[in-house]
Amino acid sequence: MARAFVFPGQGSQDVGMGKALADAFPSARAVFEEVDDALGEKLSALIWEGPKETLTLTENAQPALMAVSMAVVRALEAERGVSLGKTVSFVAGHSLGEYSALAAAGAFSLGDAARLLRLRGRAMQKAVPVGLGGMAALLGVGVDVAEKVAAEAAQGDVCDVANDNEPTQVVLSGHKTAIDRVAEIGKAHGVRRAVPLPVSAPFHCALMQPAADAMAEALASVKVNTPVVPVVANVLAAPLSDPEEIKKRLIEQVTQRVRWRECVAAMSALGVTDFYEIGAGKVLAGLVKRTAPTANAVSIGLPTDIDAALAALTS
């Protein structure tokens, strides 16, 4: 039996997340204080009090979700004696969650992770003028079909696979004109539904190159340590531990697809039977179960979740 900690991406945010952790555990509260200090503002007040539309802005949601995930990790470590290095074999995260995973494994300091994600969120938002990009989730088909739909919908525009989430859910990203063609083209390929996503920019596609350039510059001056356990990288769907390669793959991640289905499958093939989603929401636990039906998938985001999972984590 092996375990993995997995960390959620954008979309899992909600006003009030992490407040119960901060109230229950001094170590969790300290995480939010450290993130506030790193950013020079009270992000914690926005996380706990809203408004939701401001929290949902990419530049806020990314460091906020990382903060909640790290509050769970610190509470497990400091309050409940769980050692990440001894408890799990791998960490992985969905898009921005990869930064949370790396921070949890000691590759990034908490302050650096917060500053990088603030910059990443702003750079991704600025890369494409509002209204020119879009994203859509294809339901009922896998990545092979999604690639065909994307190719037909492009017609000279950018239309890329952004997220390969699970065997029947793939997200496309690119110019809004191309994304608008996806639903009709998808019908001929067996797509059950094509759902436009309420996002402010077309993430994980070629249009994000300016943001990738910004991250390359930022990561060049940040110290990356060897993680205490390997991180399964989004763009490789394979474990990494080398600091320089971690930086390289994080830069590529901005424009390339999140290979989440393959990440889960790779961890399963490497013996992982128990996946713990660390942070806000329960999205990843659902994706894990649809990719690896025999796996155990548990979400830990509240003090009660920590205590419920403790026996399994320390056995």
The residues carrying an active-site annotation are 95, 204
The Cα-based distances of 64 to 23, 42, 106, 207 in angstroms read 17, 11, 18, 25
In whole angstroms, what is the distance from residue 261 CA to residue 235 CA? 11
Q: Please name every residue paired with 159 in a beta bridge, in sequence order, or none if there are none.
A: 174
In whole angstroms, what is the distance from residue 247 CA to residue 251 CA? 6
Q: Please name every residue paired with 197 in a beta bridge, in sequence order, or none if there are none.
A: none
In whole angstroms, what is the distance from residue 312 CA to residue 315 CA? 5
**Is the preceding omega at residue 51 within 30 degrees of 0, hence cis?**
yes
Q: Please name every residue paired with 2 in a beta bridge, in sequence order, or none if there are none.
A: 272
Count the Cβ atoms, other than its own, within 10 Å of residue 314: 13
Q: At 54, is the secondary structure helix, strand, or coil?
A: helix
